[in-house]
A and B are shown apart, each in its own frame.
Chain A
Amino acid sequence: MIKVTRFLCAAFVMHAGAAFADDTAPDKVMYEDFSVQASLTGKAGDPVEGAKVFKDRGLGNCLACHQNADMSGDLFHGTVGPAVDGVADRWEPAQLRAIVSDAKQVFGEETVMPGFYSLKVGKDVAKDKAGKTILSAQQVEDVVAYLATLKE
């Protein structure tokens, strides 16, 4: 068993450069009642890093779809999804973790929000992205920690 886990972890690390051995693998994330209770890394998220993930076009690029009054210094907030202002009043951290990891688990198959920690993705994935999640487990935790600060 230990061997198998090691092997899986090694394979996983090879594919997703930024993943660590203690991270929950994307297909092992437990979705219950639209929530993921356990941290994906066992470590607390860093809201400052999370804010970067939220803006960065190469990472979460959440701003492409969500308006965010907390980032009013940045231009061009998208309107595809709802504004995230006060999102922590509407959702528990465990629910936010589920939304960010795999929005389809919460909003259904039809949602256009990408699954940021899911390997159930579209066809013909670009070769350099194959087998990789959009965000690392820690980046998901960071962005969840950031969202948890958005209270009204």
Chain B
Amino acid sequence: MRHSLAIVGLGMMMAALQMPLTAQADPVDDALVIDDLEMVTRTKAPEGHPFDEVRSGWLYREAETRELEADSFQNPGMLYVEQGADIWNRIEGPEGKSCASCHNDAAVTMKGVGANYPKWDADAKRPINVELQIDKCRVENMGLEAYKFDHAEQKALTTYIKNQALGEPVKLDLSQGELQSWWDRGKELYYTRTGQLNFACASCHEANSGQYIRADHLSQGQANGFPTYRLKQADMVSLHNRFRGCIRDTRAEFPKAFSDELMALEVYVTWRGTGLSVETPSVRQ
């Protein structure tokens, strides 16, 4: 008995080992349907894009992870959407206002909005993402302070607002203000090697997307599912947190959240996902 168990064990280990060895470099051929809405997880890349086809990171994840995202009753990220809804309706600050006081029903007023960020902020003369727009309203319209980066409420509200764009195709308007020059800057950063390990974003997400790096199936590094629920962290992870993690993994110092560098990267990386559906809250390992 013991003996045969050991053999089964070995067989399973071999099978597990075979997985990355024999797995095709290609992502799965599967459809993502959330609440009867089919997501665009593959689409023709926009002009000037290094790939022919733009692909969602969902296609590169294991079956169980994919299923969690597809089922909004099971998706742990939906708890944060609910929290976001509570904050949206909560009166806070000296003006006695809630987000809903001005924006009413987010399902109507914020529908699709998250698909078009970052936008150009003419006041700040730099790009603005959803997190910074929330801060702007808190400071200018509610007499509150900006959230600290990655404050639980910042993540919940961002997740809530992005979720109102579920299924909408990502599309930036680069003709706004100077957004194009930030795109240029972001592109340059994307191909700049950093750290002791000397990798650029493109080293992993362009030159090697589809390959395995240890246990990780490398995707195109798309932003369309953020904030994303990460099983490893059992928490929502913001886009700038992910950027910083990827930069840190090259053994480099990483820029501050919402710094010029990371805003430029956000503009460029988001553009690389043009046409993909917003999947927030996506689920990743």
A80 engages B198 (CB within 8 Å): no
Candidates A78, A114, A134; contact of B211 at CB < 8 Å: A78
A126 in the interface (beta carbon within 8 A): yes
Interface size class of B (residues with CB under 8 A): 20 to 34
* Majority SS at the chain B contact face: loop
Segment among A6-14, A37-45, A62-70 that sits at the interface with chain B? A62-70
A76 engages B214 (CB within 8 Å): yes
B159 CB to nearest chain A CB (Å): 30
The CA-CA distance from A58 to B236 in the complex, in Å, is 27
B192 in the interface (beta carbon within 8 A): yes
Candidates B17, B20, B193, B248; contact of A122 at CB < 8 Å: B193
Contact A77/B199 with A123-B252, A124-B253 known, Cβ cut-off 8 Å: no
A73 in the interface (beta carbon within 8 A): yes
B211 engages A79 (CB within 8 Å): yes
Within 8 Å CB of A126, what residues of B?
Answer: 195-196, 248, 251-253
B208 engages A132 (CB within 8 Å): no
Interface size class of A (residues with CB under 8 A): 20 to 34
B25 engages A123 (CB within 8 Å): no
Candidates B13, B203, B214; contact of A112 at CB < 8 Å: B203
A77 engages B252 (CB within 8 Å): no
B16 in the interface (beta carbon within 8 A): yes
B207 engages A122 (CB within 8 Å): no
A29 CB to nearest chain B CB (Å): 16
The CA-CA distance from A73 to B13 in the complex, in Å, is 8
Contact A112/B208 with A122-B196, A123-B252, A125-B195 known, Cβ cut-off 8 Å: yes
A93 in the interface (beta carbon within 8 A): no
B215 engages A76 (CB within 8 Å): yes
A129 engages B196 (CB within 8 Å): yes
B199 engages A122 (CB within 8 Å): yes
Contact A77/B251 with A63-B214, A122-B199 known, Cβ cut-off 8 Å: no
A121 engages B195 (CB within 8 Å): yes
* Majority SS at the chain A contact face: loop
A77 engages B21 (CB within 8 Å): yes
A72 in the interface (beta carbon within 8 A): yes
The CA-CA distance from A122 to B17 in the complex, in Å, is 32
The CA-CA distance from A125 to B197 in the complex, in Å, is 9
Within 8 Å CB of B211, what residues of A?
Answer: 78-80
The CA-CA distance from A5 to B212 in the complex, in Å, is 44
Within 8 Å CB of B83, what residues of A?
Answer: none
Within 8 Å CB of B208, what residues of A?
Answer: 80, 112
A76 engages B253 (CB within 8 Å): no
Which B residue sits closest to A76, measured CB to CB? B215
Contact A77/B203 with A121-B196, A124-B194 known, Cβ cut-off 8 Å: no
B231 in the interface (beta carbon within 8 A): no
A64 engages B214 (CB within 8 Å): yes
B250 in the interface (beta carbon within 8 A): yes
The CA-CA distance from A63 to B28 in the complex, in Å, is 24
- Report which residue of A76, A124, A125, A134 has the largest number of chain B beta carbons within 10 angstroms of its beta carbon: A124
A75 in the interface (beta carbon within 8 A): yes
Which B residue sits closest to A64, measured CB to CB? B214
Within 8 Å CB of B192, what residues of A?
Answer: 122-123
B213 engages A122 (CB within 8 Å): no
B198 engages A64 (CB within 8 Å): no
Within 8 Å CB of A72, what residues of B?
Answer: 14, 17
A77-B212, A112-B204, A122-B252 known; 7 other A-B pairs, CB under 8 Å? A76-B212, A79-B25, A79-B212, A80-B211, A114-B196, A122-B195, A126-B196
A residues whose Cβ falls under 8 Å from a Cβ of B: 57, 61, 63-65, 67, 72-73, 75-80, 112, 114-115, 121-127, 129, 132, 134
Q: Across the A-B interface, give the 4 residue pairs with the lowest CB-CB distance, nearest first.
A: A122-B193, A76-B215, A122-B194, A122-B198
Can you name 9 A-B residue pairings with CB atoms under 8 Å? Answer: A76-B20, A76-B215, A77-B214, A79-B211, A112-B204, A121-B193, A124-B194, A124-B253, A125-B196
